[in-house]
Amino acid sequence: MSALNRSQMAWRAAQDLPDGSVVNLGLGMPVWVSNYLPVDRDIFFQSENGILGVGPQADEDSQDRNIVDAGSRRVTLREGASVVDSVNSFAMIRGGHINVTILGAFEVASNGDLANWDARVPSKGPLVGGAMDLAVGAKATWILMQFNTKDGAPRLLKTCTLPLTAPHCVKRIYTDIAVVDVTPDGFVAREILATVGTDELRSRTGTAIAIAPDCQALNAPEISL
Amino acid sequence: MSALNRSQMAWRAAQDLPDGSVVNLGLGMPVWVSNYLPVDRDIFFQSENGILGVGPQADEDSQDRNIVDAGSRRVTLREGASVVDSVNSFAMIRGGHINVTILGAFEVASNGDLANWDARVPSKGPLVGGAMDLAVGAKATWILMQFNTKDGAPRLLKTCTLPLTAPHCVKRIYTDIAVVDVTPDGFVAREILATVGTDELRSRTGTAIAIAPDCQALNAPEISL
Amino acid sequence: MAIDKRVATAAEALAGVKDGAVVMVSGFAGAGFPNALLEALRDSGPTGLTLVANSATHPLSLTHTLIEAGMVTKVIASAARGRGQELSSFEQQWRDGKIELECVPQGNFSERIRAGGAGIPAFYTPVGYGTELGEDKEIREFKGRPCVLEDAITGDLALIRGDVGDRFGNIKFRYAQMNFGVAMATACTTTVAEVREAVDGAIPPVEVQLPSVYVNHVVAVGGEV
Amino acid sequence: MAIDKRVATAAEALAGVKDGAVVMVSGFAGAGFPNALLEALRDSGPTGLTLVANSATHPLSLTHTLIEAGMVTKVIASAARGRGQELSSFEQQWRDGKIELECVPQGNFSERIRAGGAGIPAFYTPVGYGTELGEDKEIREFKGRPCVLEDAITGDLALIRGDVGDRFGNIKFRYAQMNFGVAMATACTTTVAEVREAVDGAIPPVEVQLPSVYVNHVVAVGGEV
């Protein structure tokens, strides 16, 4: 199969979320993850604006301007949901109560450093939001991103070139061509797309990447974008 | 008149509470203050266990074990009351949102140091509760106590002999024979019982005490204990 | 006197805001923006304001109108990036050195404001360590984890939006409308709450989310539920 | 799998508490004592416990039964004074050096537990400065006010009492029953909540006072409203 599209990438990450876990999904592609949960997983999605138990997006006729996620999308509340203020929402995030956060990224270094908040666009103001809190506070930080930039440059690097979000925080990276763990020994590929050989994977990585002994083929069902 | 009884002392302190203020009353005599408010004062009493708007004690038949004040008395909620947890209750106290706290005391020093939490009873465990938080956090700390100990020893001292609750916190002291301000220059008597002369007051004080130029007679209506 | 914190108009509630005031503005992700108060503040025209708001550029908040009016000289925010290709008014003034920006991770932002309201002058947090936003901050390790020292943020005026307010100043929010409103109200000398509806009676004690002690003025401005 | 945190008995919920565990116990002023859980913990018999409870000696709490059973080697509390003339079991063991006591001002107590749950390793506070309870603590001035550095308190097990719980672990309290329950639940690895009633459905989102993420087991034990 060819490189995973964005929906398939979200699907792949969704398969690994533990049953019963509490998960925060970053803006953009990560929020799509909630669309592709296996049916046997009962998961609470937390949003930085204070909702624990974000449900599907609201229908046109059941929207409430005060039931939104951190990306300003009008959503619903699942059964068992609750709502707190920003202080308590971030206490939840920073106190280690979120099992997994799935975030987008610009770059990840082989020591787990993450750069995902500031791409250095000239004259545009900074936007950090809750990225640093999530990366530091969640028990596990997973990244969902294209393996390479649009220009083909590597995003998996020895050292991040863009401003850091947090040092040593990334545990796993889901991409369009591979699933990569960040280990004390650096990057380890767990799954690689069948049409991408290990040589190609290495050539598209900015630093050393090991191949797990039990490395599998990266697969996802057909999902249109 | 003779020395004020405890109810009269509480009455005297109550007369000075500003209209619209938020007030925390310590255990013992201070809680009696709420019984003697002038009719033109609308005041919210806060209790450390999280109630803002403590009303009168509950009748036998309307008691609720979860509507209590910090002294475990079953109380009522006044109109406009609210309830928070201990964290938020003490954030309210420590953040400077209580206008006045009225506390009991063993000793007060002329620099405003307060000793009210540990009388050093041998082998009895310590009990600090919220005393330090209130003394430090309230905008104004008033003391309600007998001018002297049962043995006639002074409680207004140059330096406290018992363990401090907080340094430099007391603004005013209501007693059975005088009302005393704590100023940058030390104790200043604002009101003295007519039957207690300034010489007697001085002899019953453990350090220097000035008499305010506009010093008044301390008065209270007849109230039985 | 019976407490009644309700005022007829936003303009009345905001009379006398001084040049140079530190103004906190609630709202996040489309919910909880006090836009009627922001309009009134813009019309009243104080200058040299410091704005403490999660975003300086959220399209649904009228925060930007204060910036466009040249009333703001400093912004403390977690988000300050305009959405369009063209520079936002904030970005233009920031680039031109007319507005100083302190960009703060959203959890440090909420926690610092909470600290301001709770009497905590400073705290340590791992969030921001090892990043540009943690530069020049004091660093200290706790249990092997490096942390930065963050100080409290306090303000002169909090502008918040709730759903229902009562004459005592109690506020009830609607779902995620709460966000920064509670913390900001605790951290400012004066708090003005705009609400959809101001009721004559009292909000039931267990439904109050922001206790009356933190609110100075309540203005009913209508608007959608 | 559908989440259901309800268990049939307190004994079941408390199976496997290890010797040496740090156990937090909610309750203050007669409200919120998890006495069914305390009985079960006493019966299960772990030793060398550290108890974190506002009072070691409150007559309405069964905390003292753990102490009488010799299961406790350390207490962190704001109150540890028996009410009677005779020494309480706590006081006797404390005097005999069998139990270590850390006496903490109640606001520092609640704030330190909150910090433990919110990922704040330490904070500064003026409360306790200049007193015996602030001795040997690091001192630092903020805006001219001397403060002590206080560290977070975390625990292995929180025992709390609420009014209603649901299968997700959401808890609703009754008035001042809330006190330390929320903060303790956030600061411990495992939280067990005893409730008057455990419901099949979900507590409505706006009525949840302790979100499900903080609660591991819910035990219905009945009792008065």
Which of C168, C190, C199 to substitute to test the interface with B, most B CBs within 10 Å? C168
Q: Which residue of B has its CA nearest to C117?
A: B95
Asked if D123 lies within 8 A of C143 by C-beta distance, the reply is no
* Residue bearing tokens 């250095």: A120
> How many angstroms separate the CA of residue D205 from the nearest CA in chain C?
8
Alpha-carbon dihedral B106, B108, B109, B110, rounded to 10 degrees = -150
Asked if C121 lies within 8 A of D142 by C-beta distance, the reply is yes
Asked if D125 lies within 8 A of C119 by C-beta distance, the reply is yes
Give the whole-angstrom CA distance, residue B90 versus residue C122.
17
With cut-offs at 50, 70 and 90, classify the pLDDT of residue B225: confident
Q: If DSSP codes are grouped into helix, strand and coil, which group holds residue B194?
A: coil
Asked if C131 lies within 8 A of A132 by C-beta distance, the reply is yes
Residues 6+ apart with CB under 8 A from C188: C22, C24, C154, C155, C156, C157, C158
- Residue C119 touches partner D, C-beta closer than 8 Å: yes
Nearest-by-Cβ selection for A130 from C56, C106, C129: C106
Residues 6+ apart with CB under 8 A from A224: A5, A7
Asked if C117 lies within 8 A of B82 by C-beta distance, the reply is no
Which pair of tokens denotes residue B40? 């033109």
Q: Please give the share of chain B, as a percent, with pLDDT higher than 90.
A: 95
Which letter, b or e, does each residue of A33-47 get, where b requires 16 or more Cβ atoms within 10 Å of its Cβ?
Answer: bbebbeeeebbbbbb
Asked if A20 lies within 8 A of D186 by C-beta distance, the reply is no
In which element (H, E) is residue C111 found?
helix C106-118
Which pair of tokens denotes residue A95? 């106190």
Question: Is residue A48 among the annotated active site residues?
Answer: yes
Choice among C82-91, C138-147, C201-210, D205-214 with the minimum mean pLDDT: C82-91
Give the whole-angstrom CA distance, residue D145 versus residue C184.
23
What pLDDT is stored for residue B62 in this prediction? 87
Kindly report the number of other CB atoms within 10 A of residue D39's CB atom: 17
Which pair of tokens denotes residue C103? 């960009």
Q: Which residue of C has its CA nearest to D123?
A: C123
What pLDDT is stored for residue B220 in this prediction? 97
Q: Domain boundaries in chain C? A: 6-120+158-220
> Please, are residues B139 and B99 in contact by the beta-carbon 8 Å criterion?
yes
Rounded alpha-carbon distances, angstroms, from residue B116 to B58, B67, B166, C26: 28, 26, 9, 41
What pLDDT is stored for residue B9 in this prediction? 98
Asked if B91 lies within 8 A of C118 by C-beta distance, the reply is yes
What pLDDT is stored for residue C225 in this prediction? 66
Residue B217, burial from CB neighbour count under 10 angstroms (0-12, 13-18, 19+): exposed
Which of D106, D108, D113, D123 to substitute to test the interface with C, most C CBs within 10 Å? D123
Q: Per the structure, how many domains does chain B have?
A: 1
Q: Is the pLDDT of residue A155 over 70?
A: yes
In a domain, A138, yes or no: yes
Q: A-chain residues within 8 Å CB-CB of D1? A: 19-20, 40, 42
Q: B-chain residues within 8 Å CB-CB of C208? A: 82-83
Residue B181, burial from CB neighbour count under 10 angstroms (0-12, 13-18, 19+): middle
Asked if C213 lies within 8 A of B44 by C-beta distance, the reply is yes
Q: Is the pLDDT of residue A1 over 80?
A: no
Per-residue pLDDT of chain D (225 residues; tens, 9 = 90+): 899 999 999 999 999 999 999 999 999 999 999 999 999 999 999 999 999 999 999 999 999 999 999 999 999 999 999 988 899 999 999 999 999 999 999 999 999 999 999 999 999 999 999 999 999 999 999 999 999 999 999 999 999 999 999 999 999 999 999 999 999 999 999 999 999 999 999 999 999 999 999 999 999 999 876
With cut-offs at 50, 70 and 90, classify the pLDDT of residue A63: very high
Residues C129-151 have pLDDT tens digits of 999 999 999 999 999 999 999 99
In a domain, B127, yes or no: yes
- Structurally, at CATH architecture level, domain C6-120+158-220 sits in 3-Layer(aba) Sandwich (3.40)
ipTM above 0.90, yes or no: yes
Which of A51, A64, A82 to substitute to test the interface with D, most D CBs within 10 Å? A82
D81: closest CA among A141, B122, C111?
Answer: B122
Give the whole-angstrom CA distance, residue C224 versus residue D91.
59
Q: C-chain residues within 8 Å CB-CB of B94? A: 118-120
Strand partners, B189: B180, B211
Residues C153-168 have pLDDT tens digits of 999 999 999 999 999 9
Strand partners, B182: B187
What is the rounded average pLDDT of the residues B127-139? 98
Which of C184, C188, C206, C213 to substitute to test the interface with B, most B CBs within 10 Å? C213
Give the whole-angstrom CA distance, residue C102 versus residue D189.
35
User: Rounded to the nearest 5 degrees, what angle is found at the Cα of A56, between the Cα atoms of A53 and A59?
Assistant: 130
Q: If DSSP codes are grouped into helix, strand and coil, which group holds residue C91?
A: helix
What pLDDT is stored for residue C224 in this prediction? 74
Q: Which residues between 153 and 182 in chain D have a beta carbon less than 8 angstroms from any beta carbon of chain C?
A: 175
What pLDDT is stored for residue D91 in this prediction? 96
Give the whole-angstrom CA distance, residue C53 versus residue D36.
46
* Residue bearing tokens 């925080």: A169
Asked if C178 lies within 8 A of A84 by C-beta distance, the reply is yes
> Please, are residues D183 and D152 in contact by the beta-carbon 8 Å criterion?
no
- Residue D68 touches partner C, C-beta closer than 8 Å: no
> How many angstroms separate the CA of residue A109 from the nearest CA in chain C?
14
Nearest-by-Cβ selection for B80 from C116, C118, C170: C170
What pLDDT is stored for residue D225 in this prediction? 66
- Residue D1 touches partner C, C-beta closer than 8 Å: no
| HEC string for chain A | CCCCCHHHHHHHHHCCCCCCCEEEECCCHHHHHHHHCCCCCCCEEEECCCEEEEEEECCHHHCCCCCECCCCCEEEEEEEEEECCHHHHHHHHHCCCCCEEEECCCEEECCCCEECCCCCCCCCCCECCCHHHHHHHCCEEEEECCCECCCCCECEECCCCCCCCECCCEEEEECCCEEEEEECCEEEEEEEECCCCHHHHHHCCCCCEEEEEEEEEECCCCCCC
B90: closest CA among C19, D105, D120?
Answer: D105
Question: Largest alpha-carbon pair distance within chain D?
Answer: 56
> Which residues does A contribute to its contact with C (CB < 8 Å)?
47-51, 64-72, 77, 83-87, 89-91, 93-94, 118, 123-133, 136-137, 163-167
With cut-offs at 50, 70 and 90, classify the pLDDT of residue A62: confident
Q: DSSP letter string over B60-119?
A: GGG--TTSB-TT--BEEEEEEEEE--HHHHHHHHHTT--SEEEE--SEEETTS-EE-S--
pTM of the model: 0.98
CA C79 distance to own-chain centroid: 13
> Please, are residues D112 and D133 in contact by the beta-carbon 8 Å criterion?
no
> How many angstroms separate the CA of residue C112 from the nearest CA in chain B?
13
What is the rounded average pLDDT of the residues A73-80? 97
Nearest-by-Cβ selection for D125 from C120, C124, C125: C120
Instruction: Return the number of CB contacts < 8 Å for C and D.
Output: 47
Asked if D186 lies within 8 A of A94 by C-beta distance, the reply is no
> Please, are residues A44 and A80 in contact by the beta-carbon 8 Å criterion?
yes
Rounded alpha-carbon distances, angstroms, from residue A152 to A190, B81, C119, D152: 22, 62, 51, 46
Residues B45-83 have pLDDT tens digits of 999 999 999 999 999 988 999 999 999 999 999 999 999
- Residue C111 touches partner D, C-beta closer than 8 Å: yes
Asked if C142 lies within 8 A of D126 by C-beta distance, the reply is no
Q: What 8-state DSSP symbol labels residue C18? A: P
Asked if C212 lies within 8 A of B96 by C-beta distance, the reply is no
> Please, are residues B167 and B192 in contact by the beta-carbon 8 Å criterion?
no
> Please, are residues B27 and B70 in contact by the beta-carbon 8 Å criterion?
yes
Q: D-chain residues within 8 Å CB-CB of C115? A: 123
Give partners of D (≥3 CB pairs < 8 A).
A, B, C
Asked if C111 lies within 8 A of D125 by C-beta distance, the reply is no
Which of B45, B82, B87 to substitute to test the interface with C, most C CBs within 10 Å? B82
> How many angstroms separate the CA of residue D119 from the nearest CA in chain C?
7
Q: Is the pLDDT of residue C178 over 80?
A: yes
CATH classification at residue A11: 3.40.1080.10
In a domain, A162, yes or no: yes
Kindly report the number of other CB atoms within 10 A of residue B57's CB atom: 14
Q: Which residue of D has its CA nearest to C144?
A: D121
Residues 6+ apart with CB under 8 A from A114: A103, A105, A107, A108, A135, A141, A143, A160, A164, A165, A166, A169, A170
Backbone angles phi, psi at B164, to 5 degrees: -70, 145
Which letter, b or e, does each residue of C145-183 get, where b requires 16 or more Cβ atoms within 10 Å of its Cβ?
Answer: eebbbbbbbbbbbbbbbbbbbbbbbbbbbbbbbbbbbbb
> How many angstroms separate the CA of residue A74 from the nearest CA in chain C?
9
| HEC string for D189-215 | EEEEEEEEEEECCCCCHHHCCECHHHC
> How many angstroms separate the CA of residue D175 from the nearest CA in chain C?
7
- Residue D139 touches partner C, C-beta closer than 8 Å: no
- Contacts of B12-17 with C-beta under 8 Å, sequence gap 24+, read B12/B174, B12/B179, B12/B218, B12/B220, B13/B102, B13/B142, B13/B144, B13/B174, B14/B38, B16/B142, B16/B172, B17/B41, B17/B43, B17/B100
Structural domain range at position A61: 6-217
Give partners of A (≥3 CB pairs < 8 A).
C, D
Give the whole-angstrom CA distance, residue A189 versus residue A198.
9
Nearest-by-Cβ selection for B84 from C167, C168, C211: C211
Which pair of tokens denotes residue C19? 């040049």
Mean pLDDT of chain C: 97
Q: D-chain residues within 8 Å CB-CB of A137? A: 119
Nearest-by-Cβ selection for C119 from B40, B81, B95: B95
Asked if A20 lies within 8 A of D166 by C-beta distance, the reply is no
In which element (H, E) is residue B183 found?
strand B178-183
Which letter, b or e, does each residue of D170-194 get, where b requires 16 or more Cβ atoms within 10 Å of its Cβ?
Answer: bbbbbbbbbbbbbbbbbbbebbbbb
